[in-house]
């Protein structure tokens, strides 16, 4: 039995993923609110892309790269949302999609020697299903990369 698989929503920004990011434009934000009343689905998330500024993390990555023959790109992720806006209990619904995106983005990323940081900085919740947050994250990332 064969399965039909649709293309990724990220195809909308494939041209953006191939470009080098102008680091002077960072931070960039992408936000999306998904609400489908008939299915009681809701998800709202705001994601920030910036340069990692934590000295300890930067030094750690430098130490990892010093042990390799060729350096690798690294990315960081952080949950920075106030608990009352979007409780941390929702992170397991949001983080996996960001990690999937970073895997795709890392293939095309032309910004070498810089650690890019993806942060969840805002959001909202109501009675939700997982699907709503996955879709909200995808469209927030698309909005963010459309600014590049």
129: three-class secondary structure by DSSP: coil
Mean pLDDT of 15-27: 93
Q: SS3 string of 57-126?
A: HHHHHHHHHHCCCCCCCCEEEEECCCCCCCCHHHHHHHHHHHHHHHHHHHHHCCCCCCCEEEEEEEEECC
**Residue 1 covered by a domain:** no
Q: Is residue 129 part of a domain?
A: yes
Domains in the chain: how many in total?
A: 1
CATH of the domain at 52: 3.30.230
pLDDT band for 141, please (50, 70, 90 cuts).
Answer: very high
Question: What domain range is 38 assigned to?
Answer: 9-145
pLDDT for position 137: 95
- Asked whether residue 3 is assigned to any structural domain, the reply reads no
pLDDT by residue (tens digit) across 83-140?
999 999 999 999 999 999 999 999 988 888 899 999 999 999 886 555 689 999 999 9
Give 54-89 pLDDT, tens digit per residue. 999 999 988 887 887 666 789 999 999 999 999 999
Determine, yes or no, domain membership for 4: no
Tell me if 117 sits within 8 A of 75, measured CB to CB: yes
Task: Tell me the pLDDT tens digit for each residue of 31-46.
Answer: 999 988 776 788 999 9
In a domain, 48, yes or no: yes
Query: Does residue 55 fall inside a structural domain?
Result: yes
Give the per-residue pLDDT at 8. 83
């Amino acid at each position: 039995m064969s399965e039909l698989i649709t293309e990724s929503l990220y195809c909308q920004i494939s041209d953006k993923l191939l470009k080098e990011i102008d680091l002077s434009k960072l931070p960039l934000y992408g936000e999306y609110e998904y609400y489908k009343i008939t299915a009681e689905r809701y998800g709202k998330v705001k994601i920030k892309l910036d340069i990692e500024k934590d000295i300890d993390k930067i030094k750690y990555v430098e130490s990892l790269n010093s042990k390799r023959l060729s350096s690798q790109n690294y990315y960081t992720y952080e949950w920075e949302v106030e608990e009352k806006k979007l409780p941390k209990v929702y992170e397991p619904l949001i983080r996996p999609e960001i990690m999937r995106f970073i895997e795709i983005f890392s293939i095309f990323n032309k910004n070498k020697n810089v650690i890019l940081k993806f942060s969840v900085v805002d959001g909202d919740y109501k009675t939700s299903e997982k699907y709503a947050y996955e879709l909200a994250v995808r469209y927030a990332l698309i909005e963010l990369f459309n600014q590049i």
